[in-house]
Chain A
Amino acid sequence: VNAISSSYRVQYDVRPAKQVERRMLVDALQRLAAAGFPISDYQYTGFSAIYFVDFILFHKILGLSKLVSLEQDVDLTTRMQFNKPFSCIEVKMVSASSEIPNLSRDLRHLVWLDYDGVLQKDFLSDIQSAITILPPGSILLVTVDVEPPEDYDYAIIDPAFNSSKEVLGPKHWKNYFEHHASQYLKLGLSEADFGKSELILRSTEILRAAFTKSIVTRPELQFLPMFNFAYKDSHSMLTMGGMIGGRAEKRNLRTSSVGDAVYYRADFESAPFEIKVPRLTRKERMYLDREMPCPDGWKPGEFDLEPDDVRHYRDIYRFLPAYVEISL
């Protein structure tokens, strides 16, 4: 686990792609609620850091009121408490691995293991724990960083590594992933399979294997894929998730409109939904919004914009926040 909590590293509330992802999740959960999933009774367990952005959305928009935020860094205890926006949020200064076995078996859960680091063993065992105990109808989301492991990540698996003499590359990254997830990787991978741009694929495969492997222990249930997001604010990130469900949940999920959403992924084999946020001015956005949702091939008349940007904008405009400066 990285020594530095993301509370220190990232200004949580101004990451547009991340925010789009959150709003898409809210959208999906609204669609599930409409299909009869009692979403507002779900317990949400996540890592809010000191910003609680997801907690605010889930409480205000979806009405979830059983909310638990986990934080491992005890030095943040008072700041977590101070920043807690609602009384119905319980802050627990423990790791996910300690808390997951304590989750009530009588509630449905939304659990978002929103890690800010590169995949490691502990994440995989948390996934296994969650899938082993969460009641049917519960939703599990997992986010990992898919940039190459950093020097400090690598030093943990190879204490002899000297960052002043050696630069990390695919050979090291392969070692890293084999150390943390050998049982989850397919056979016959070479160093080239661990090049920088391949790491998102490897992470996807590992997470997919973790979901499948863990649900095997509950023969009456399946892990039903729902989300596979790739996005980048500063680091490239991957979020995968789905529902733990039996026949009833599977049927319910099929009848819900979530399957029509552009970001929905009913399997992990197809490409992830890439959240791409085109760089646009406020004026441009206002202009584009009037035409949204636009037909395929539509182009703005008054300025030039790449067709890809138009397409990406069409996918996300409903979910994209606008940031303004305010004087407090």
Chain B
Amino acid sequence: MRYASAEVRKQFFIDMFTRDISLEDCVLDLIDNSLDSYLLKHATSISKLVFGPDGNANGDELGKIDVICTERQIKVADTCGGILRRRAMEQVFCFGHDTDDQVGKLGAYGVGMKRALFKIGNNFHIVSRTAQEGFEVSFKLDEWAKKKEWNIPITFIDGAGSERKAGTSITVTDLHEEVALRIKEGGVPKNILNDASTTYPYFLGQCVKLRINDNDVNPTPIKLGELTGVLRAAREKFEQRGVKVTLAATVAPGQRTTEEAGWYVLCNGRVVVRADRTNLTGWGTELASFQPKYRSFVGIASFESDDPLRLPWTTTKRDLNRESAVFIRARALMASMSKPILTFLNSQYASDPTVEVADIRDAVGGVTEISFKDIAEKPTTGFLYTPLKKKEKKSEWVRFQADVSSLAQVRRHLRRPNMGAGEIGKFVLSHYVKTECGE
């Protein structure tokens, strides 16, 4: 038997592997690792973060993650617990997880950090300390690429001495020319800040404090709404092959922009897809295509698993794997949950504005915020709109097209050339009531 070569080439990882992910998402991958350290150390449950009244019920001190992004360096430093020497020696720098590796919640594939480093620059410096022990790794990508070996030099150092100080710092300098160029062009730190704010609403402030170039990142919560006795959110739950799925769809509270509308998909609490209005979540196929009149629509699909490989995310954590069985089932439910909501929102714009339409608009306007937890807790059900009991009508709209010549006639007759059409309408009606109907 002859064998053809089928080996892995380092240059492939360095060049190819980094093309399908944005710079911003690479930095978020590093933040994911910091979060994972925290979750592991404090045994924090994702369910508690997403659905808990307080994700940090134990009163654990918040971890700190500081991101520095300049044209000279990108650095992510945290106090989230640090990496054990043993994991550094055997796992952290490998591509892909080993079967017996301790899995995190956000690191699914074991590529995030390596890919981020390769994408960003040439010179890496990693220092990590748990309370008891520490290690340091420094290397240059171009030199490493020339070597045949796949290992990386590591130095053991002392631990941080206390749990509070334990953490990891990753610094990349000698940035790749195109990365430096993009950062110089401006906007990258701002993008990272915005992305982090919308990606980690269930982590920020609950388990970590995140800063980008010394600016605090505040969570952008996903707002769901209900109106007691009038509007009830749709909710579904199921579990399939170790993945717990919770779905909610409803009308969002407050004034909405079209950019906020759509489905939000969480994998272990991380927002993977934000405000999706594409056929990924059924729009334009199972559902109507998105239109601005649906801007109050909001849905959350949460996928949770102890084994992140079972979740439907892609390696960039910015898209979903459509062939995932659990996502296929969820997607069908998402479509059937959404449809009545779209019909409801659409009915606000009936061509003949009746009292019922006004009630629907009032209901949409009156929606108040309700937490994902409060929705998820209640039994599975569809979206429901129950119009309020009819109030005695005090007034009603009268709208019709009138001949310009008739309006002009009235104006002439009253000698009020500037009288508006609406005013004429009111005047004529009240005149008729007074002169023809009596008391």
- The answer to whether A and B belong to the same complex is yes
A159 on interface, CB distance cutoff 8 Å: no
B343 on interface, CB distance cutoff 8 Å: yes
B382 on interface, CB distance cutoff 8 Å: yes
Known: A97-B340, A100-B382. A132 touches B332 (CB 8 A): yes
Known: A98-B383, A99-B382, A101-B381. A217 touches B332 (CB 8 A): yes
A105 on interface, CB distance cutoff 8 Å: yes
B234 on interface, CB distance cutoff 8 Å: yes
- With contacts defined as CB atoms under 8 Å apart, how many contacts are there between chain A and chain B in the complex? 57
Looking across the interface, which residue of chain A has its beta carbon closest to that of B385? A98
**A98 close to B336 (CB less than 8 A):** no
Q: How far is the CB of B247 from chain A (nearest CB, A)?
A: 11
B325 on interface, CB distance cutoff 8 Å: yes
Binary B-proximity of A166-207 (CB < 8 A = 1, otherwise 0): 000000000000000001000000000000000000000000
**A216 close to B328 (CB less than 8 A):** yes
Among the interface residues B285, B332, B333, B384, which one has the most CB atoms of the partner chain A within 10 A? B332
**B328 close to A217 (CB less than 8 A):** yes
Binary B-proximity of A79-118 (CB < 8 A = 1, otherwise 0): 0000000000000000101111111010000000000000
Q: How far is the CA of A216 from the CA of B337 in the complex (A)?
A: 18
Binary A-proximity of B145-180 (CB < 8 A = 1, otherwise 0): 000000000000000000000000000000000000
Q: How far is the CB of A178 from chain B (nearest CB, A)?
A: 14
B371 on interface, CB distance cutoff 8 Å: no
Q: Which of A193-234 contact B (CB under 8 A)?
A: 214, 216-219
B138 on interface, CB distance cutoff 8 Å: no
Known: A95-B343, A125-B286. A100 touches B328 (CB 8 A): no
B373 on interface, CB distance cutoff 8 Å: no
Q: How far is the CB of A248 from chain B (nearest CB, A)?
A: 19
**A125 close to B325 (CB less than 8 A):** no
B321 on interface, CB distance cutoff 8 Å: no
Q: How far is the CA of A101 from the CA of B382 in the complex (A)?
A: 4
Question: Across the interface, which residues of B come within 8 angstroms of A102, CB to CB?
Answer: 381-382, 384
Question: Across the interface, which residues of B come within 8 angstroms of A99, CB to CB?
Answer: 382
Looking across the interface, which residue of chain B has its beta carbon closest to that of A129? B336
Binary A-proximity of B326-368 (CB < 8 A = 1, otherwise 0): 0011011101110110010000000000000000000000000
Known: A98-B383, A101-B381, A102-B381. A218 touches B329 (CB 8 A): yes
Q: How far is the CB of B200 from chain A (nearest CB, A)?
A: 30
Query: What is the interface residue range for chain A against chain B?
Result: 20 to 34
**A125 close to B335 (CB less than 8 A):** yes
Q: How far is the CA of A218 from the CA of B325 in the complex (A)?
A: 9
Question: Across the interface, which residues of B come within 8 angstroms of A310, CB to CB?
Answer: none
Q: How far is the CB of B321 from chain A (nearest CB, A)?
A: 15
Q: Which of A101, A105, A132, A183 contacts B340 (CB 8 A)?
A: A101
**B380 close to A98 (CB less than 8 A):** no
Question: Across the interface, which residues of B come within 8 angstroms of A97, CB to CB?
Answer: 336, 339-340, 343
**B382 close to A128 (CB less than 8 A):** no
Question: Across the interface, which residues of A come within 8 angstroms of B339, CB to CB?
Answer: 97-98, 125, 129
Among the interface residues A101, A103, A105, A218, which one has the most CB atoms of the partner chain B within 10 A? A101
Q: How far is the CB of A128 from chain B (nearest CB, A)?
A: 6
**A101 close to B335 (CB less than 8 A):** no
Q: How far is the CB of B352 from chain A (nearest CB, A)?
A: 13
Binary A-proximity of B377-419 (CB < 8 A = 1, otherwise 0): 0001111100000000000000000000000000000000000
Known: A105-B380, A218-B329. A100 touches B336 (CB 8 A): yes
Q: How far is the CA of A105 from the CA of B333 in the complex (A)?
A: 13
A277 on interface, CB distance cutoff 8 Å: no
Q: How far is the CA of A216 from the CA of B326 in the complex (A)?
A: 11
Q: How far is the CB of B237 from chain A (nearest CB, A)?
A: 10
Q: Which of A95, A103, A133 contacts B333 (CB 8 A)?
A: A133
Q: How far is the CA of A100 from the CA of B331 in the complex (A)?
A: 16
Q: How far is the CB of B288 from chain A (nearest CB, A)?
A: 9
Q: How far is the CA of A149 from the CA of B208 in the complex (A)?
A: 60
Known: A98-B383, A102-B381. A128 touches B336 (CB 8 A): yes
**B325 close to A219 (CB less than 8 A):** yes
Q: How far is the CA of A103 from the CA of B336 in the complex (A)?
A: 12
Known: A101-B382, A102-B382, A183-B285. A129 touches B335 (CB 8 A): yes
Question: Across the interface, which residues of B come within 8 angstroms of A125, CB to CB?
Answer: 286-287, 335-336, 339
Question: Across the interface, which residues of B come within 8 angstroms of A100, CB to CB?
Answer: 336, 382
Looking across the interface, which residue of chain B has its beta carbon closest to that of A214? B332
Looking across the interface, which residue of chain A has its beta carbon closest to that of B380? A105
Q: Which of B332, B340, B343 contacts A128 (CB 8 A)?
A: B332
Question: Across the interface, which residues of B come within 8 angstroms of A219, CB to CB?
Answer: 240, 325
Question: Across the interface, which residues of B come within 8 angstroms of A98, CB to CB?
Answer: 339-340, 343, 382-383
Question: Across the interface, which residues of A come within 8 angstroms of B381, CB to CB?
Answer: 101-102
Q: Which of A128-165 contact B (CB under 8 A)?
A: 128-129, 132-133
Q: How far is the CB of B310 from chain A (nearest CB, A)?
A: 14
Question: Across the interface, which residues of B come within 8 angstroms of A128, CB to CB?
Answer: 286, 332, 335-336
Binary A-proximity of B219-237 (CB < 8 A = 1, otherwise 0): 0000000000000001010
Q: How far is the CA of A321 from the CA of B325 in the complex (A)?
A: 48
Q: How far is the CA of A105 from the CA of B331 in the complex (A)?
A: 18
Among the interface residues A128, A133, A217, which one has the most CB atoms of the partner chain B within 10 A? A217
**B329 close to A217 (CB less than 8 A):** yes
Question: Across the interface, which residues of A come within 8 angstroms of B328, CB to CB?
Answer: 216-217
**A133 close to B343 (CB less than 8 A):** no
Question: Across the interface, which residues of A come within 8 angstroms of B340, CB to CB?
Answer: 95, 97-98, 101
Question: Across the interface, which residues of B come within 8 angstroms of A218, CB to CB?
Answer: 329
**A101 close to B383 (CB less than 8 A):** yes
**B329 close to A101 (CB less than 8 A):** no
List A residues at the B interface (Cβ < 8 Å): 95, 97-103, 105, 125, 128-129, 132-133, 183, 214, 216-219
Sample of 7 A–B contacts (CB below 8 Å): A98-B340, A101-B340, A102-B381, A103-B382, A129-B339, A216-B328, A218-B329
- Beyond A125-B336, A132-B333, 5 additional contacts (C-beta under 8 Å) are A98-B382, A103-B382, A217-B329, A217-B332, A219-B240
Closest 5 CB pairs of A and B: A101-B382, A129-B336, A102-B382, A217-B329, A98-B340
